[in-house]
A and B are shown apart, each in its own frame.
Chain A
Amino acid sequence: MKVIEARGLRKAFRTTIALDGVDLHVEEGHILGLIGPNGAGKTTALNAILGLIPYQGELRVLGRDPSTERDQLMRDVCFIADVAVLPRWIRVSQALDYVAGVHPRFDRAKAEGFLARTDIKRTSKVRELSKGMVTQFHLALVMAIDAKLLVLDEPTLGLDILYRKQFYDSLLNDYFDRSRSIVVTTHQVEDVQHVLTDLMFINRGRIVLDCSMEEFESRYLEVKVHPEHVAEARALKPMHERQVLGRSILLFDLKLDRVDRQKLAPLGDVRTPGIADLFVAVMGKQAGQAQGVAQ
């Protein structure tokens, strides 16, 4: 079953078009990373999926229409919309009581188990916790809910690297399995590179890249070119070039540029690029195209 199925999703605010015909599919057991610059429409897309805003287009989440069946949908969908949305006045024990009271799929013992691994005290108020602890707490609540879809919108923004690593580690080790799906947006793409199963780039309300991580790894190659081969490498039309410590690093799309691994290997050190580098390359190309149109 498709967990999320969106076709031609559109959303316009008064002056801007936030989503301009987005097609999006998430299968069961997948972790999709939705990556894009600020204002690209990531949060708008997630809000539409969660039934938080009205939209145009076709959208089914777990077979339901989020705009009319939101209340039922929230039994099977969980989300962390942002860091620090937990009410600051609530006590840890009260939040556990409340979620246990209203959520039919919340396993309190499990949440307590997650909390036992942290320094969070049951009697603390959320306002007394550090930002990292609030996120840990929110994640403990969410992971104890037996949901089919988990949506994370910038869940680790502003956290230090230890908390971020721990966040994704617990998500993978203690929560994720083949019957669940996760959609995550983040700017800290290097954190999620080895977490995702699928990758999507979004820019100005449009999907500009949509591939599985397997495809990503086989399709894109980064070559740290030996200085003597730079001209030769450039002739193969890389999609992007950048300089690091005097060395040229060229990014190739093996599908489009009609080059292959064998041809590139002699030119320098070949490796899989980081999502961030591909992101810069793709967005750079987009900007270039936009300028080209303007001219």
Chain B
Amino acid sequence: MNTQSNAVPESFDSQGTAPAAISATRPMYWSIRRELWENRSVYIAPLAAAAVFLIGFVINMVIMRRSIASSPLGPAQQHDLLATRYEISASLIMGTAFIVGIFYSLDALYGERRDRSILFWKSLPVSDLTTVLSKLTIPFVILPLLSFAITLATQFIMLVMSSVVLAGSGVNIAALWTEASFFRVSLVLLYHLLTVHGLYYAPIYGWLLMVSAWAPRAPFIWAFLPPFVICGVEKIAFNTSYFLALLEERLTGPGGSMAGHDHATDFAGTLIPHHFFSTPGLWIGLALAAVFLFVAVRLRRYRGPI
């Protein structure tokens, strides 16, 4: 104890003369790590979805292996083997990540007020802007990239499993690897995740974060009741449902790119960059997201524990 109190004045001097400058990105980096420490569901949920899917897939392969013995695969089954399952795996992981993103965003700025830890976070030199942006990063960047990586790994495991299970059954194993066009589809998937799940969904995350920063309690109700009420009022007053259509369009992506295409390569067609980035909906959405986030930052400034 004595040695320590003796050492104290020296360390003060050395620190006082050179208050180490912290680069602007460091608080951001640590805030994002902090979010991942607190919300382990961000990576556990998509991993669990992938694991569950793989179990189902193995069972399915074993059954298929038995039936091939009696009757060879038709073209429909061949297609199913090469494409559909891979699309399902991608959708399942993406969907899980999207749901995680929604619940994460709803709790992000509400949870810290409820457990009073906001008083601790605010005692550190991390601005409200950095905090809100770090929380946006989770659904906006981390979850899409994470679901891409998990999907890629899952699909690779699926290919290996199919090769092993179907070896010697008469199915062309080499075709699995070439026809499934693993890497081309992967790039389309990455593009879809970053554009639709990132950019196009930005106003959704922005809205949820804003409600999360504001709600005195029950952020879930405050987030979902207003759109519901607007739809209802519009239906009664004007007998139209433009708002509902707007929400649907937002969820399905520009030009309904997620629906009505059974080929991953086809749906890439609707997502060509030129097409996507000239969609007015994208830019209106991003502007709206910026407004929501600005309000969330302002709200957090004077929000205390509840």
- CB within 8 Å of B: which residues of A? 47, 50, 52-54, 70-72, 74-75, 78-82, 84-91, 94, 97-99, 101-105, 107, 110, 113, 117, 138, 142, 146, 173-174, 177, 179
Is B15 within 8 A of A75, CB to CB?
no
Q: Please judge, given known A-B contacts A88-B115, A101-B26, whether A52 and B15 are in contact too, CB under 8 Å.
A: no
Q: Which residues does chain A contribute within 8 Å of B9, judged by CB atoms?
A: 177
**B304 proximal to A (CB < 8 A):** yes
Closest B residue to A114 by beta carbon equals B4
Q: Could you mark each residue 98-124 of chain B with 1 if its beta carbon is under 8 Å from any beta carbon of chain A, else 0? A: 000000000000001001111110111
Q: Which residues does chain A contribute within 8 Å of B19, judged by CB atoms?
A: 75, 104-105, 146
In Å, the complex CA distance between A107 and B22 comes to: 14
Is A90 within 8 A of B37, CB to CB?
yes
In Å, the complex CA distance between A71 and B129 comes to: 10
Is B123 within 8 A of A102, CB to CB?
no
In Å, the complex CA distance between A113 and B7 comes to: 11
Tally B residues with Cβ within 8 Å of A. Answer: 39
Given contacts A102-B22, A174-B4, 20 further A-B contacts (CB under 8 A): A50-B123, A74-B123, A75-B125, A78-B123, A81-B123, A82-B116, A85-B116, A86-B120, A89-B38, A91-B37, A97-B30, A97-B33, A98-B30, A98-B34, A101-B26, A104-B125, A105-B15, A105-B19, A146-B12, A177-B9
* 25 chain-A/chain-B pairs, Cβ below 8 angstroms: A50-B122, A52-B302, A71-B125, A80-B123, A84-B116, A87-B115, A89-B37, A94-B34, A94-B37, A98-B33, A101-B27, A102-B26, A102-B124, A104-B21, A104-B22, A104-B125, A105-B15, A110-B8, A113-B4, A117-B1, A146-B12, A173-B5, A177-B12, A179-B12, A179-B16
In Å, the complex CA distance between A110 and B9 comes to: 12
CB proximity of A92 to chain B, nearest CB, Å: 12
Q: Could you mark each residue 1-43 of chain B with 1 if its beta carbon is under 8 Å from any beta carbon of chain A, else 0? A: 1001100110110011001111000110111011001100000
Q: Which residues does chain A contribute within 8 Å of B91, judged by CB atoms?
A: none
Q: Which residues does chain B contribute within 8 Å of A173, judged by CB atoms?
A: 5
**B126 proximal to A (CB < 8 A):** yes
Closest A residue to B111 by beta carbon equals A87
Q: Could you mark each residue 174-188 of chain B with 1 if its beta carbon is under 8 Å from any beta carbon of chain A, else 0? A: 000000000000000
Q: Which of A53, A87, A113, A117 contacts B120 (CB 8 A)?
A: A87
Is A102 within 8 A of B27, CB to CB?
yes
Closest A residue to B304 by beta carbon equals A52
Q: Which residues does chain B contribute within 8 Å of A113, judged by CB atoms?
A: 4
In Å, the complex CA distance between A4 and B152 comes to: 57
Q: Which of A54, A88, A103, A174 contacts B302 (CB 8 A)?
A: A54
**B127 proximal to A (CB < 8 A):** yes
Q: Which residues does chain B contribute within 8 Å of A90, judged by CB atoms?
A: 37-38
CB proximity of B264 to chain A, nearest CB, Å: 39
In Å, the complex CA distance between A70 and B127 comes to: 8
In Å, the complex CA distance between A72 and B124 comes to: 10
Closest 5 A/B residue pairs (Cβ) = A101-B30, A81-B119, A87-B117, A74-B125, A85-B119
Is B123 within 8 A of A79, CB to CB?
yes
In Å, the complex CA distance between A74 and B20 comes to: 15
In Å, the complex CA distance between A103 and B125 comes to: 6
CB proximity of B157 to chain A, nearest CB, Å: 32
Q: Which residues does chain A contribute within 8 Å of B26, judged by CB atoms?
A: 101-102
Interface centre among B16, B22, B120 (most CB of A within 10 A): B120
Interface centre among B8, B124, B305 (most CB of A within 10 A): B124
Closest B residue to A90 by beta carbon equals B37
Q: Which of B12, B122, B124, B126 contacts A52 (CB 8 A)?
A: B122
Q: Which residues does chain A contribute within 8 Å of B5, judged by CB atoms?
A: 173-174
Is A102 within 8 A of B126, CB to CB?
yes
Q: Which residues does chain B contribute within 8 Å of A79, judged by CB atoms?
A: 123
Q: Could you mark each residue 247-275 of chain B with 1 if its beta carbon is under 8 Å from any beta carbon of chain A, else 0? A: 00000000000000000000000000000
CB proximity of B196 to chain A, nearest CB, Å: 32
Q: Which residues does chain A contribute within 8 Å of B116, judged by CB atoms?
A: 82, 84-85
Q: Which of B34, B115, B117, B124 contacts A103 (CB 8 A)?
A: B124
Q: Which of B12, B29, B118, B120 contacts A101 (CB 8 A)?
A: B29
In B289-306, the 8 Å CB interface with A consists of 301-302, 304-305
Closest A residue to B122 by beta carbon equals A52
In Å, the complex CA distance between A89 and B15 comes to: 31
Q: Which residues does chain B contribute within 8 Å of A117, judged by CB atoms?
A: 1
Q: Which residues does chain A contribute within 8 Å of B4, judged by CB atoms?
A: 113, 174
Q: Which residues does chain A contribute within 8 Å of B117, judged by CB atoms?
A: 85-88
In Å, the complex CA distance between A84 and B120 comes to: 9
Q: Which residues does chain A contribute within 8 Å of B305, judged by CB atoms?
A: 85
Closest B residue to A87 by beta carbon equals B117
In Å, the complex CA distance between A184 and B293 comes to: 35
In B191-223, the 8 Å CB interface with A consists of none
In Å, the complex CA distance between A174 and B3 comes to: 11
Q: Which residues does chain A contribute within 8 Å of B119, judged by CB atoms?
A: 81-82, 85
In Å, the complex CA distance between A142 and B120 comes to: 11
CB proximity of A113 to chain B, nearest CB, Å: 6
Q: Which residues does chain B contribute within 8 Å of A47, judged by CB atoms?
A: 304
